[in-house]
């Protein structure tokens, strides 16, 4: 069978922060793709503002790199477990993968996840050991770890015979040898290995059309855009084609635009053929996994499997006393329309109506997945309130089950005991413990997802910021009964409205940790700190000092209080208990009780207590 020898379709896969996007940057720089003297910015494929700020890839990106007579169509994939849905889908579009592994950290939970998906699709792997210049790098040991992982995941003989390239993507160097002295400022070893190792796509462009959508994009001018691969045949602008829907129905439409990918650009093209990775517009409700075919030969490809969400939150309109002060979009209709628009491109997300017309249950793949959506919306001018994240329980063979995650911890050995104790308390099951000669210990656990909600902040405190915590969804297993892993400490809750005073804060800070600054506007029911004990306490944080002839008001400025703990969005979501909301506006993140009135809240708490006794 003929092949398109000038093309290679590959995905770059790795654990988060192992250097995929930086490596792709160097491939773009050192190929024949960009104009001479073109200045490419760091991590150019991470175009989303949140991606650039956090240093993570959230959405899969397409590009094409020119190397001599060859074109490498490359997909840069996310490394974080919460965006694993992006990784699963792109595996169908490619013939091989570059598995990037940090020469110091070695194989991590997400390395296992992405490699497993690649091997399931029988893709040809090339292993790239990156960051060989990092202090403490152990490239040869890491190659052995990778080989063990291939064997463990059931790789066949051809896959086990993978080539290895050693790189420092940050420096733009590579070589065939683990010895750092052999590194040269070139990506030629990697480019040549791709040409030699990754199979070229089959050229069956003379057969009837089959194009499968793997990624969605959306454009206000052309609507929904389906990105995927042509597996068979040709497609042209103006063609009448049929979409084989996931529900078994068929819909006809005319192709209005086709786009190809080259360098950092998406270019309009007039036609494409088998083996090409392209984008198609013309049908408004096209979905991931659906097949575009020749109307005379309606043969659908098998649908793409997407792991379901494991975590959910309630999103609702903001009804606090400060509602509407910051936001441009505050109504239930605006919030609902925005959530539905997110479904145009994010197939791992679910949005369900509730009995309350101003509230929706939004389900995703993890805390980061949902917090990125919240952060995006607040930057766009939306206001909302969100509940504590909850895991999604599921019936499996008649048994109520909950999600469990594979957890890997790398920590200085002196903190290992505290981490083991904390994970055991969260019903974690230790699978392995590996101390090394550098004072580090690697712990491997199976932990219920419920136990990991809110854990990362505690983990960073325990390890003084030196620990690395990674986790990825493993399986559903029977629910652990009579266990509520929520926050162990109560909240300090404002009993009235006004501005927080230094005088009041001085009297309150002995009871716990304050979370707001002096002068902050507060309302009744707003959380202003964490109690040092289990119960909630209502406090008067707006109380002022009575003035006398002896003391002037300015003398309070000399008073000193401890620096309040300012929580990030993720920390605020982790802090929440079941009777609390996080109020999100473009300018503020506030924690509050669901019932704001102090008397009504205390009555509800007594009622709940009676109900549980």
User: Binding site for GTP, residues?
Assistant: 17-22, 130-133
Q: Are 107 and 149 in contact (CB under 8 A)?
A: yes
Cα within 13 Å of Cα(172), Cβ side = 11
Our CA dihedral for 334, 336, 340, 346, rounded to 10 degrees, sits at 100
* DSSP code at position 300: P
Q: Are strands 7-14 and 96-102 parallel, antiparallel or unpaired?
A: parallel
Helix (H) or strand (E) holding 407: strand 399-412
Whole-angstrom Cα distance, residue 279 to residue 170? Answer: 31
DSSP per residue over 21-58, as a string? HHHHHHHHHHTT-SPTT--PPTTTT--SHHHHHHT---
> What residues form DSSP beta bridges with 408?
444, 470
CB atoms within 10 A of CB 482: 4
Compute the Cα dihedral for 12, 18, 22, 23 and give only its sign.
Answer: negative
Binding region? 17-22, 130-133
Nearest to 526 by CA among 499, 494, 489, 490: 494
Whole-angstrom Cα distance, residue 288 to residue 216? Answer: 7
Q: How far is CA 445 from CA 81, 429, 486, 528, in A?
A: 16, 5, 20, 35
Q: Are 3 and 273 in contact (CB under 8 A)?
A: no
Nearest to 126 by CA among 159, 88, 148, 154: 159
Q: How far is CA 178 from CA 53, 138, 159, 267, 549, in A?
A: 32, 9, 21, 39, 78
């Amino acid at each position: 069978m003929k092949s398109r020898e000038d093309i290679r379709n590959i995905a770059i896969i790795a654990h988060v922060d192992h250097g995929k996007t930086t490596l792709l940057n160097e491939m773009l720089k050192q190929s024949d793709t960009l104009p001479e003297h073109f200045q490419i910015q760091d991590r150019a494929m991470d175009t989303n503002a949140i991606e650039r700020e956090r240093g993570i890839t959230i959405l899969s990106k397409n590009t094409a790199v020119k190397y001599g007579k060859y074109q490498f169509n490359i997909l840069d994939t996310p490394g974080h477990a919460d965006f694993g849905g992006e990784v699963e889908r792109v595996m169908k579009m490619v013939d091989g993968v570059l598995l990037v592994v940090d020469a110091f950290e070695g194989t991590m939970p997400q390395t296992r996840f992405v490699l497993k998906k690649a091997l399931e699709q029988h893709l040809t792997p090339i292993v790239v050991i990156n960051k060989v210049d990092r202090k403490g790098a152990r490239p040869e040991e890491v190659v052995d770890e990778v080989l063990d992982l291939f064997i463990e995941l059931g790789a066949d003989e051809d896959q086990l015979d993978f080539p290895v390239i050693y790189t420092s993507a940050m420096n733009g160097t590579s070589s065939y040898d683990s010895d750092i002295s052999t590194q040269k400022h070139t990506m030629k070893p990697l480019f040549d290995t791709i040409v030699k190792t990754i199979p070229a796509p089959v050229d069956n462009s003379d057969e009837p059309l089959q194009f499968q959508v793997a990624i969605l994009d959306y454009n206000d001018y052309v609507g929904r855009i389906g990105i995927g691969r042509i597996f068979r045949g040709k497609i042209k602008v103006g063609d009448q084609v049929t979409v084989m829907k996931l529900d078994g129905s068929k819909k006809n439409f005319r192709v209005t635009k086709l786009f190809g990918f080259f360098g950092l650009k998406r270019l309009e093209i007039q036609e494409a053929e088998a083996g090409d990775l392209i984008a198609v517009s013309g049908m408004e409700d096209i979905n991931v996994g659906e097949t575009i075919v020749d109307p005379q030969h309606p043969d659908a490809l098998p649908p793409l499997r997407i792991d379901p969400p494991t975590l959910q939150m309630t999103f609702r309109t903001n009804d606090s006393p400060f509602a509407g002060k910051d936001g441009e979009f505050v109504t239930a209709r605006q919030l609902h329309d925005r959530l539905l628009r997110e479904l145009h491109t994010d197939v791992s997300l679910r949005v369900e109506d509730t009995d309350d017309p101003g509230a929706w249950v939004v389900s995703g793949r993890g805390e980061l997945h949902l917090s990125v959506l919240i952060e995006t919306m607040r930057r766009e001018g939306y206001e909302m309130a969100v509940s504590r994240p909850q895991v999604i329980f599921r019936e499996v063979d008649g048994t109520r089950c909950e999600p469990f995650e594979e957890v890997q911890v790398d920590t200085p050995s002196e903190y290992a005991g505290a981490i083991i104790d904390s994970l055991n308390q969260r019903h974690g099951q230790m699978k392995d413990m590996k101390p090394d000669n550098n004072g580090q210990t690697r712990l491997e656990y199976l932990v219920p997802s419920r136990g990991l909600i809110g854990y990362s902040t505690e983990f960073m405190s325990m390890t003084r910021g030196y620990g690395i915590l990674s986790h990825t969804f493993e399986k559903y297993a029977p629910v652990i009964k009579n266990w509520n892993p929520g926050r162990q400490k109560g909240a300090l809750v404002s009993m009235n409205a006004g501005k927080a005073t230094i005088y009041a804060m001085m009297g309150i800070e002995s009871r716990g940790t304050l979370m707001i600054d002096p002068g902050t506007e507060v309302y009744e029911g707003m959380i202003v700190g964490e109690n040092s004990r289990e119960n909630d306490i209502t406090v008067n944080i707006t109380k002022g000092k009575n003035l006398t002839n002896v003391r002037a008001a300015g003398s309070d400025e000399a008073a000193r209080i401890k620096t309040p703990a300012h929580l990030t969005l993720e920390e605020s979501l982790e802090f929440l208990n079941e009777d609390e909301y996080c109020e999100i506006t473009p300018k503020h993140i506030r924690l509050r009780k669901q019932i704001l009135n102090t008397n009504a809240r205390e009555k509800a708490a007594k009622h709940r207590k009676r109900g549980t006794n």
